[in-house]
Amino acid sequence: MYGLAMAKGMLVTLKNFAKKPFTVQYPEERVKQHPRFRGEEFVWYEERCTGCASCAKFCPLGIIKIVTSPSETAPLQGDKYRLEVFDIDISRCMFCGLCVEACPYDALFMGSGFEQSAYSRKGRVIDIDQLRQAEKLPSTYFRPQLESASYKPQEGQPLDWVDVGRESWRWHEREKAGMRLQPSDASPEAISIGSPDEGRGVVEPVNEEIEEAGTVSAEETT
Ligand code: SF4
Ligand code: SF4
């Protein structure tokens, strides 16, 4: 009986002897990750972020903390948010990606790394400065625009904020800096989703409008 069990065991060994191994000797060897891999090191594009906090609201674990205040850069339009705190407690994250799915502005992406393990959960909160400085190698998870461009974050090519959105929103940064959009003469039908900068409107500085208003009132009083 004992000999039979030994023979069965040896048979299994022999069967697998010639097979290619599917384990790798990490860290000397690394498994190739899929571009859609949901990794650590969240990629955040401040230029795209409006501080809407949708990501925090949709996180099922409540581990994203966002604090904003009125920026006073666009008071005539009802103002914008200034982000003061953007913390993600990475030690409790389950990498579900719901925060990324909830972001309406393509400002938040899953990362592509997986080497931030630690023995303690202490000090594992990614803050706004770390998010700003993190390498911009976004995962293509829930970002079809990156998939269609065959982007591969593991190849180490960082992407700028103008290249990562489903819409380029090139005016967005200027708007945050106090500019505003005016409706253009183009009809709504003329607006092309593929060319977001065309037909969306003309960007004009708020300050110019204030200056113009001041000029008119000065003339009226003379
Ligand atoms: S990936 Fe999931 S758990 Fe992690 S911060 Fe986003 S929503 Fe929360
Ligand atoms: S990352 Fe996206 S969802 Fe989160 S606050 Fe910024 S714009 Fe809103």
Residue 202 has pLDDT above 60, yes or no: no
**Residue 97 domain flag:** yes
The predicted pLDDT at position 17 comes to 84
Question: pLDDT tens-digit profile of 132-169?
Answer: 999 999 999 999 999 999 999 999 999 998 889 887 66
Whether the CB of 61 sits within 6 Å of ligand 1: yes
Domain assignment present for residue 57? The answer is yes
Query: What's the confidence (pLDDT) of residue 191?
Result: 30
Q: Cβ(102) to ligand 1 under 6 A? A: no
Residue 19, domain member (yes or no): no
Q: Which ligand is nearest to the CA of 88?
A: 1
Query: Does residue 45 lie within any of the structural domains?
Result: yes
Residue 219 maps to a domain = no
Residue 171, pLDDT above cutoff 70: no
- Out of 59, 91, 126, mutate this one to test ligand 1's pocket (max ligand atoms within 8 Å of CB): namely 59
- As a whole number of angstroms, the distance between CA 145 and CA 100 comes to 14
CA of 52 to the centre of ligand 1 (A): 16
pLDDT for 63-104, tens place per residue?
999 999 887 776 666 667 889 999 999 999 999 999 999 999
Residue 213 placed within a domain: no
Each residue of 6-65: pLDDT tens digit?
A: 999 999 889 888 888 878 898 898 888 899 999 878 999 998 898 999 999 999 999 999
Q: Which domain holds residue 121?
A: 39-168
Question: pLDDT tens digits, residue range 100-137?
Answer: 999 999 999 999 888 888 899 888 999 999 999 999 99
What's the CATH code of the domain at 93?
Answer: 3.30.70.3270
Number of domains in the chain: 1
**Residue nearest to ligand 1 atom 8, measured at CA:** 59
In a domain, 25, yes or no: no
pLDDT score, position 1: 67
Is residue 88 within 6 Å of ligand 1 at its C-beta? yes
Residue 7 inside a domain? The answer is no
Q: From atom 2 of ligand 1, which residue's Cα is the shortest distance away?
A: 96
User: What backbone phi and psi angles, to 5 degrees, belong to 157?
Assistant: -95, 105
